[in-house]
C-alpha cells in the first residue's frame, strides 16, 4: 500500500509541478554555470547506494569521501539556490527517485555516503534507519530537525525520530507527516 501511495502521489505531483520544474531549470541555467541537476550518492534501503536528484543550488558538486554540509550564509550557495533551498523546491527532482523506487514520500532522509559512514561509526543505532526506504520528508523534518548538523547530538536526535517513525509506521502516520510537512515548509527557513 505504501508503494502504491508513493507512486500515485509522485506521478501526480510531477505532472502538476512540471511548470515549476521547467521554470526552476531555466532559472538555474540563467543564474550560474553548471548542470541543472545535482546528483549525489546516498545510502538507502538495506544500505544500498543510489543517486539522488536535486536541483543544483551550489557552486560545488561534492560527492566524495568528504562532503561539507551547507550552513547558514554558505558562500557556495548560488543566488537562485538560496530561494530554492528556503522553499525546498530544490528537493522536487526527488519525486523521480520515488517513481524509480529508490525513495518513498515519507521516511528517514537519506544522507551522503560520506555522512553515512561518519555517523554510522558514531551512532550505534544509525544503521537501523535503513530498514525502510528513505523519504522526501520524515518525522525528523516535521519536528524541526532539518538543515545542518554541526553537533553529533543533533544527528542523534534525528536518528531517534527516524527510529520512532519506523517503529510506529502506518499509512495514517505517513499522511499526517505529509500534511505537517506543508506547514513546516510555509514557516521554516532553510539555507
Per-residue pLDDT of 58-97, as tens digits, reads 876 665 565 666 666 677 788 898 889 888 899 999 999 9
The predicted pLDDT at position 35 comes to: 92
Q: Kind of pairing, strands 37-43 and 49-55?
A: antiparallel
Burial 13-35 (b: 16+ CB within 10 A, else e): bbeeeeeebeebbebbeebeeee
Q: Write down the domain spans for the chain.
A: 2-187
| Alpha helices (H) in 17-67, listed in sequence order | 18-31
Tens of pLDDT, residue by residue over 153-191, are: 888 999 999 999 999 999 999 999 999 998 888 775 443
Label residue 102 exposed, middle or buried (CB < 10 Å: 0-12, 13-18, 19+): buried
Tens of pLDDT, residue by residue over 45-54, are: 999 999 999 9
The rounded distance, in Å, linking the Cα atoms of 156 and 173 is 22
The rounded distance, in Å, linking the Cα atoms of 31 and 142 is 31
Q: What is the DSSP letter of 127?
A: G
pTM score of the predicted model: 0.87
The cell numbers describing 77, all together, are 550557495
Torsion over CA: 151, 155, 158, 163 (sign) = negative
Mean residue pLDDT of the chain comes to 88
The arithmetic mean of pLDDT across residues 105-129, rounded, is 90
The predicted pLDDT at position 190 comes to: 46
How large a percentage of the chain has pLDDT more than 90? 61
Amino acid at each position: 500500500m505504501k508503494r502504491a501511495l508513493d507512486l500515485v502521489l509522485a506521478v501526480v505531483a510531477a505532472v502538476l509541478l512540471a511548470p515549476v520544474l521547467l521554470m526552476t531549470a531555466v532559472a538555474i541555467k540563467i543564474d550560474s554555470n553548471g548542470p541543472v541537476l545535482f546528483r549525489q550518492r546516498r545510502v538507502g534501503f538495506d544500505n544500498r547506494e543510489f543517486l539522488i536528484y536535486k536541483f543544483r543550488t551550489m557552486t560545488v558538486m561534492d560527492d566524495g569521501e568528504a562532503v561539507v554540509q551547507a550552513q547558514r550564509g554558505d558562500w557556495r550557495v548560488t543566488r537562485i539556490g538560496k530561494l530554492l533551498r528556503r522553499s525546498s523546491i530544490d528537493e522536487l527532482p526527488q519525486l523521480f527517485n520515488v517513481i524509480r523506487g529508490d525513495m518513498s514520500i515519507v521516511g528517514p532522509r537519506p544522507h551522503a555516503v560520506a555522512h553515512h559512514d561518519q555517523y554510522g561509526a558514531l551512532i550505534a543505532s544509525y544503521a537501523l534507519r535503513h530498514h525502510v526506504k528513505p523519504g522526501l520528508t520524515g518525522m525528523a523534518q516535521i519536528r524541526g530537525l532539518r538543515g545542518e548538523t554541526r553537533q553529533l547530538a543533533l544527528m542523534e536526535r534525528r536518528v531517534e525520530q527516524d527510529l520512532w517513525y519506523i517503529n510506529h509506521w502506518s499509512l495514517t502516520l505517513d499522511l499526517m507527516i505529509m500534511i505537517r510537512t506543508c506547514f513546516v515548509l510555509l514557516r521554516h527557513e532553510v539555507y
